[in-house]
Structure 1
Amino acid sequence: MARLQCLAPGEDFPPTSEALDYPNGLLAAGGELTPERLLAAYRRGIFPWFQEPEPVLWWTPDPRSVLFADELHLSRSLRKTLRKNAFELAADRHFAAVMQACAGPRRDDGGTWIGGSMVEAYCELNALGHAHSVEVYREGALVGGLYGVSMGGAFFGESMFSRVPDASKIALVALTAIMLRSGCRLIDCQVESEHLNSLGARNISRLDFERELAQTVHMDPGTIIWQLPGRCGDLL
């Protein structure tokens, strides 16, 4: 029977093939949320997901949900929303605010897994240029967005939020625009959801995901250019 490895400080992750089948993809516990640890994890397709005060849990599910930027599906209604041009866009203007919004109460369960240590760790990654946010504003107010980690030619999406209809979808459209303009296409969505599937995400095996990642993760870290047009209509 597979056993969960408990990581000592500085200890490397076990092979991803040792991840548990149930819960799907749980690979290891413990360790620290330092930039070095987080970047080493993402380089291998591993991400943290836990609720404080639990120890850090590290995951690599199989299958893996991904969105290839050139496979984004824009529904007729979403195109209509974009054409109205009622939303402003920005990248990395208020990274911490996006994380706090993603960590806020949700209608389904009252909260999320994004605790204070996660916010602190990813804000540090943002300051170092490794984590980024895509932000959607209406009349100057932050109404939607997403954040994640950029490495080489891949973006590892962590969470998104929406305070008005379609705002998180617009953030994802803006992210794909950034990726395609930079010659990149791999967006990691981690775990399947109906919301992301409706936008073109699909499941691939862990092995195929790691193969895709190997082709992009060692690209120049400055490959992706984090700039956006001022308004959502310019995404069409």
Structure 2
Amino acid sequence: MTRLNGKTAVITGGATGIGRAAAKRFVEEGAFVFIFGRRQEALDAALADLGPNARAVKGSVSSLTDLDRLYAAVKAERGTLDIVLANAGAGSQLPLGKITVEHCDVILDTNVKGSVFTVQKALPLMGRGGSIILTGSSAGTTGAAAFSLYAASKAAVRNLARTWAEDLKGTGIRVNVLSPGPTATELAKEALGEEGVEAFASLSPLQRMAEPAEIGAVAAFLASRDSSFMTASEVAVDGGLAQI
């Protein structure tokens, strides 16, 4: 498939998990991809897998200086940008009554502020036909026990897309949300353990967790012209978890 042939993409949180799976699919479909993440070791491993049509920039979406370096690298090598997958995210459990200021700052800075400035700083490089994809979550619809800040941040991401679709009228740039359910990334499997994976798998009608490549495939659809009449939409890739 070459749906993304010649396109330039940025994927934040692109070194591992869903971001890496999306980067791999984008490259397979002909895109040149910049992955952005905080851990050099993970970035190096991803580049070894992705091949010559990928570059890596180390940094955090919470740092405006790091985002400036990312887009300076894109401009220097490629000139323009076609696709942004704002995928970097943070989430950890704390129930109401135990939420701390630090917990709030980390999650909202990464998931909300990080998404805002990842997109805003990309816009000068983007033009007609551009696609912005925000990573949401089934938790943004259903909520999740002890994940109130994470769930709220993903509900905010959903509404950013609704508003930005209005703000981007006339530009030819689309913005949509990709909302996975529980996904069997290496980090998730390590954190949950075998029993936790089985518990999460049982929640959806499909009775399993998603594979990262399944989420990456839908990201490629939203990045391509196959979704050219979609904007302000949310695509749930959650095995039906938040749909019934």
Using structure 2 for the length normalisation, give the TM-score: 0.28
Query: What TM-score does the superposition give when structure 1 sets the normalisation length?
Result: 0.29
Greater strand content:
1
